[in-house]
Structure 1
Amino acid sequence: VHPWGIDDGQGWNTPEPAGVADFCTVEKNHLAARHTREIVKPFLNSLRGRVSTVLYSLPGSRDPIRHKLYRSFAHRPTEAQRREGGRELSLKLAAFQYVGEPLPPMLTLSQDKPVIDYFRQFPGLDAGAKFNNDGFWQLPIPVTTDVDVAPDDVVIYDTEGYEPLKRFLQEQGIRHVLLTGYATDMCFCRTTAGYENLSKDFNVFLVGDASLATFPANKSPRFAVNAAISFASLNQLVTQVSWVKLQKEKP
């Protein structure tokens, strides 16, 4: 779920000086990228060829650039198309101005309602055009370079909705889903490929250590992940990377 290619060298960057995307700061995005490289990537690579398919969900719709880059439910690009899509992605992302407004230099607080005034003028999180620049969320968000995207891997686009995903999985004969991704408390549960949808029709196993939650006001995501996974366990089965064992292939 949502392996966004943010601040990873592909060109989609957190806007400065006060923009927010994914885990909200460049430093936190780099921490999440390290988690993807060290935990999620080896896990996916160990399963590829032993599971029916590997899928990634991304925000937005199947735009012309990502249509060339990634396999989808209805299209499998050629190698030439992938190269062309990669060039177009680089140009598109590089053309955007990743600069928004600075933080307000001064706040005006009243005597009787200073707290209300404070957050009205300076909300804790604003991912809109003011700080991210207009058009930031309309850019073609790529899959992060911190995972190895194979030609047969499939990209899911959130705006297409859950039904096409459900139909695709059922057509592949899939009954069991190992769910990894970001963020545990948000997209991992509530977007198109989140467990709230998938668990209605499939046997879903949340891979708890292959997910990170957002962690505002904390230096580490460990407590936020624990809280989100613990809450999910009321209605979901939770596993971890080391518990997933592959059956020996029959000779």
Structure 2
Amino acid sequence: MRRFQSNKVNCFYDLFKDPFTMVKSIVRIAVVLVFVLAPRQVQAQEVNNELEYRSGIDLSYKLNKKLKVSFVPEIRFDDSFDFDKYLFEGGLTYKPLKFLSLEGTYRYTVNPRTGKDTEYSNRFGLSAKAEKELGRFDAGFKIRYTNDADDGASDDEFFRYKLSLGYNIPKSKLTPEIAMEAFQQLGNDGGLYKMRFSAGADYKLFKNNYLGLSYKLDYYHTEYLNKHIVSLGYKIKF
């Protein structure tokens, strides 16, 4: 029994010690998830595909070594590039350990609707993120509790599980990242709500200023819907 437990610990250590092992593990998990979820859409008569554009400014300021505040104004457009909604999000991040960060966020969304009253909504979130540098790779795992699925369609409570992997290209200002995230709906109708697969990159313009571009695919498990999200953002770190 002790030998079995020791082997498990050694395997877990080796996974984080070797960046290539970590990369292969993430790819395998992603492939398995895609093949498990894909058959449901194959059997469907029609899958709706929606397109959304997002643009925002990510402002962050370090109060000290362990505390950081952030503010993100963002606007969103539909597939015709017509204005859809805008939002403001503030956050406070606390880093008790080198590899661990805790964050609380609040989002206020304004949705002007043609022929209807403007819709207002509030979202809060609590999250914990563990990060590990593996050579030039930066692996992260984030758990978030929130009352929103980031789509405007559901205001239920969710747990979100996100696995990400970034890479620091030698002598380059470009930092790419891939990620996948599961949205678990809570309550009586709980279960897997959707999966989000994303890929993007930040380009360093000059000190503490970055231009970011990303693509996200929201793969809904509860309905035959795919949402494609293209985001362009600007980051400033003070």
Report the TM range for the smaller structure's normalisation.
Answer: under 0.3
Q: Which structure would you say has the larger RCO, counting Cα contacts within 8 Å and 6 or more residues apart? A: 1
Q: TM-score, normalised by structure 1?
A: 0.21
Q: TM-score, normalised by structure 2?
A: 0.22
Whose helix fraction is larger, Structure 1's or Structure 2's?
1
